Structure 1
């Protein structure tokens, strides 16, 4: 083998050195899009169609399968009965029926075997004894009888083996491997032929908190070597060099230098993670420093897996946990950390496989918190590899004497790149299961010399010069078949009464469709996932498809607003429909968007492929305004006018468009005027928005306050609001400083509140701005001084938490500062809103300056004229000093000069007094014109 490697490497090595590793978020292809996994994730072919599917656990419990369909198309979804909170999961075909099955388990809740049935349902075997705290898990044919057995790492004692009874059921087998003296702390396990003798060995990574001596047995990683007869011996003498006493979490085996053997990567928590090179006989040398890994991995890594992500022919390494990394294999046994190809969130766990059938390895990423705390805010992401122009070769194995998936098979590919070596494994690293599909990156290699497959049964198949850039299907014994395509003769999305013909691009001896048909082509009239198993003349089978046929697609439109849907009269909001072939709004408009300036419920009908669909009504509220009632004034030249307006909130302006306000009073007293002048007035109405409530209503669970921890709530604000009040439960009385922080931890607002023992409603009145990742908490230092602990001694909930809590379009409380399982301190938020103020249009009000009169002299007594009360609500009194005597005519005129009332008084010369009742006149400004024998005097009178 070594000689062959030298010959191969002496030829021209053609590797793409410039290929970049990058990914695109394609989570929109999954249902639901927002899914939250724990550590346990799997990728495998669940329905036997030759394509990788995603097996995931919603909130770590609800089993959800995403079936791959056509490249770039949405996955098909199946939701299965919950399996409790799983820490480990692996997937493979345990009953050799061609369908994928799943093992999942967690904290002493049983080891569950979920098996696929041919009718699309699932059956579960729950193995409850011996009780087990499940960690890493694997399917492997431990006794090589052609049926996959289960290996389960146990956190608190010896790991468990469950033997397959030859029908997909399992029985505990404690004697298959002598693990006497094997202790707790079993975390990551991997079955691999580490010494190249053709037999599967077992390696278990150990970690045990509180044990600081590297020689403590629960800390020492253990290798169990297969004796060739499927009995196993522990490598107590450490001949392998793998008996490591670090706090190790996982191990994985992969060929980093294309020399035909498996090297080892181990993630550690207390020292550097390690890369060890295999000498070909199972003796390992630590090359961590030389490979460039020292101090590269920060935080707590809990996953580490070999995969070739850029198809250059050399296996890279992906790490996840508190931080994620991809280390690119430079082809010389050194690695370089590449720039983050994902987003800023740290991937905690993952599963790997080709999820769009393009020959590149994709990543399904979970964003839980160490070690298995489900995130309520960071949903899983499907990261599709963007690929490059490098070649690949892949195999789907189909066992005959061996287990059907070929788990445990070792595959070597010979080319100018060397001897690339792969192995089929179900369950790797820590609690995850990657694709069973064999994948080789080939760089710019143009020809493969051969591919050698060593099956668990001992059968050896050799494929010479296979065609590249394909996933071929190899049946144990040498029968190989290339992939074939299913061809629709028309659209695969259509209406009832229509159909699509499905056929195969090549000719075969036999056909077996997922519908049960056995003809070369079929006509699909109903909705579903269609695929066909075809058989060639040599008896080899391969699956073509699937194609997802959709009948009468549901295309309900969604409406969203481009601005606030509550607005004042004179403004508007634009409503936009999701894209469709045509639109008909209930306003009669036929465009994708409409401008709305009135209150109402607005909906749109769109024409779907087969029928129209109506959007849910979208409510718009226009807040009206009321014009003020204004009273003009007429004055003599040089006098000040008194302009009066009535309304809710009056504002005066000097012109139609000026922003400057002259006065906010009902009455405007102008400066002395020489010419007629127009002023402008508005009226503002204030609308109060009803208060709303959000958050956990009451405390639930234990009464602990976790005094050593200062917790809080993390939330997003979509529309500014006032956090008026909240409920708290205090174990001791005292002052607390409540703080509103932004995403950087800066204090936006704070308030010191004296909180008595027991349940209290506290007033905060925090103005909360629009923003993401805001938090409501207490001041740790203030707590220490005032209540004697870092925490505020306020009760938190550890039961009944159901994040997120939200008021749509306003606020979403996403998670506590600790996790999804706890709710800290602040219950039943009372949310108030800033009032809407709607100002009316401006109304002109004119101050008229009278032209000077030359016909009527001003009498001498005008200087001593007194009118009171003024303003008046009815009667006015007139006092005249030095009256000339005789008749006095008193005429009341409005601002337009119309005479409304005339009375005549008679008095002797001297001081005179008169009274007149104006109570029948409406409120306003009037002129009182007094005419005697010696002249006319005018005075302004205001009636309220």
Structure 2
């Protein structure tokens, strides 16, 4: 896998140089193996480079290797890239791409023949701003995928602020720039979208938006939106059907427990304690821990950061990528964090403090509401630390355990193969909607196996600037079969699938029996 992220830095300290980039796992060619799209950035403001950095589409060769086919596929974008999302926006059975940039974003329609068509202009989703993370969901339950695009700050022209610590120039923080609103696009069909940000109640310039994720946190059948803001209170937009209401403060997910805004970066939803409710993780800047926000029901969350054991080990790191994944297949989501600083001079400015390059972290779920830091024994410290940004998860080699990819700023990425998680049993579930959106995004899947009950939703974007494989992976431990799979589709239809043997990839079409893959 030949790829190196280029952040465009050339001594001018442009704020977006610190952001990128993201990545997405998805089966773009329909062969049953996840491919990988990786976003690159670009030279800033006329800086000359020896080569033109471009995004990469790594097609899975099914033998553990990948080949970059971005040029042939028509998706080798050379814009200043940030993040990426995946969803079948036209319900034709092929995974489409939405790429966020500092500048015009791109919507690529998957033609199903190894090529994509740029339909940005037709779709009306170009959004010429500093866009970061993006997420798909069917917010109006009309069977097609709508789109949310997070925007960070407003940067106009070349009149940039300069910031110093002593005599050393540093990157200005987000407070040096005005905030910007995210954008909510309604899918009107025929590859056309309408900007409904204002009319749906999500327009606000109060934030500086980095991480986003849809989930039905209140279990009412529609999809709510969480936005992690940098140095501003985070947003929780509750979907009330005809509009969204911002309830972050009331729900207890906007600030630290003492009411202070933090520097939210990456975020992910997961029922980490298997109580049937979707909990929330959001990670922050150094000297602010990753927050574990336990869904207490009735629209409220409780901060379980300290009692979970995550507070101390995440306090000195600067975390972007945030992924709940069951790496050991015991049936409980573990937590992977991609770490890296934003200031290349940090080791000069603070010789006793955090490093620029930082090791990623892995916390195993102890199945009692606590986590154990296993970074040192997991293999994550066996190679050089990176300047981690986006992270994405998928079982890319289809061997029964979840692997990870980390995009590192201005460095080569890390592809982290899971060796050993498949010693325990598992099942992988792929969904296809008929009355619902074809991707199955937003479907809630509950897997029952003996004494273990697991629930997850198909997410259309998570972590930071990134997108995980749409297949849902459930660890089973020593259990040899799944007794039942319960699905609540976005259409409202409920479906029950009977006994399924362990160690299977299964495909479930809405309203039809399961089939092995």
**Fold shared, TM-score > 0.5 on shorter chain:** yes
- 2:362 is aligned, of 305, 326, 349, to 326
Per the alignment, residue 226 of structure 1 pairs with 239
Distance 1:230 1:141, change over 3 A: farther
Per the alignment, residue 132 of structure 2 pairs with 135
Per the alignment, residue 362 of structure 1 pairs with 403
Cα drift, residue 59 of structure 1 = 5.0
| 1:313 lines up with 2:298 in the alignment | no
Distance 1:466 1:398, change over 3 A: same
**Structure 1 residues 710-766: Cα deviation after superposition (integer angstroms, max 9, x where no partner):** xxxxxxxxxxxxxxxxxxxxxxxxxxxxxxxxxxxxxxxxxxxxxxxxxxxxxxxxx
- 2:391 is aligned, of 318, 325, 350, to 350
Per the alignment, residue 36 of structure 1 pairs with 5
Question: 1 CA distance for matches of 2:55 and 2:379?
Answer: 28
Per the alignment, residue 703 of structure 1 pairs with none
Cα drift, residue 74 of structure 1 = 5.0
Alignment of 1:811-850 (within 5 A): none
> 2:299 aligns to what SS in structure 1?
coil
Per the alignment, residue 563 of structure 1 pairs with none
Per the alignment, residue 876 of structure 1 pairs with none
Question: 1 CA distance for matches of 2:444 and 2:333?
Answer: 16
- 2:280 is aligned, of 264, 281, 285, to 264
Per the alignment, residue 443 of structure 2 pairs with 409
Question: 2 CA distance for matches of 1:259 and 1:64?
Answer: 39
| 1:337 lines up with 2:376 in the alignment | no
Cα drift, residue 445 of structure 1 = 1.3
Alignment of 1:709-788 (within 5 A): none
Cα drift, residue 188 of structure 1 = 0.8
Cα drift, residue 130 of structure 1 = 5.0
Question: TM-score with structure 1 length normalisation?
Answer: 0.44
| 1:121 lines up with 2:132 in the alignment | no
Per the alignment, residue 541 of structure 1 pairs with none
Specify every segment of 5 or more residues in structure 2 that has no aligned partner in the other structure, as ranges. Answer: 7-19, 43-52, 154-179, 256-260, 341-357
Cα drift, residue 300 of structure 1 = 1.5
In terms of fraction of residues, the more strand-rich structure is 1
Question: 1 CA distance for matches of 2:299 and 2:192?
Answer: 34
Higher-Rg structure is 1
Cα drift, residue 365 of structure 1 = 2.2
Higher relative contact order, chain-length normalized (CA < 8 Å, sep 6+): 2
Question: TM-score with structure 2 length normalisation?
Answer: 0.79
Per the alignment, residue 415 of structure 2 pairs with 382
Cα drift, residue 273 of structure 1 = 1.7
Cα drift, residue 181 of structure 1 = 4.5
Question: 2 CA distance for matches of 1:91 and 1:180?
Answer: 23
Distance 1:198 1:458, change over 3 A: same
Question: 2 CA distance for matches of 1:448 and 1:129?
Answer: 44
The answer to whether the 8 Å contact 2:41/2:82 transfers is: no
- 1:54 is aligned, of 17, 20, 36, to 36
The RMSD of aligned alpha carbons is: 2.1
Aligned length: 431
Distance 1:271 1:381, change over 3 A: closer
**Structure 1 residues 24-61: Cα deviation after superposition (integer angstroms, max 9, x where no partner):** xxxxxx4xx34437421111111223321111134565
Where has structure 1 moved over 4 Å in runs of 4 or more?
58-61, 73-76, 127-130
Distance 1:105 1:83, change over 3 A: farther
Cα drift, residue 230 of structure 1 = 4.9
Question: 1 CA distance for matches of 2:203 and 2:94?
Answer: 36
> 1:81 aligns to what SS in structure 2?
coil
Specify every segment of 5 or more residues in structure 1 that has no aligned partner in the other structure, as ranges. Answer: 1-29, 209-218, 369-373, 484-944
Question: 1 CA distance for matches of 2:294 and 2:465?
Answer: 25
> 1:453 aligns to what SS in structure 2?
strand
Cα drift, residue 284 of structure 1 = 1.1
Question: 2 CA distance for matches of 1:185 and 1:341?
Answer: 34
Distance 1:420 1:173, change over 3 A: same
- 1:65 is aligned, of 25, 47, 57, to 57
Cα drift, residue 405 of structure 1 = 0.7
- 1:87 is aligned, of 82, 85, 90, to 82
**Structure 1 residues 325-381: Cα deviation after superposition (integer angstroms, max 9, x where no partner):** 01111111110111252323224332110101111111122221xxxxx23xxx223
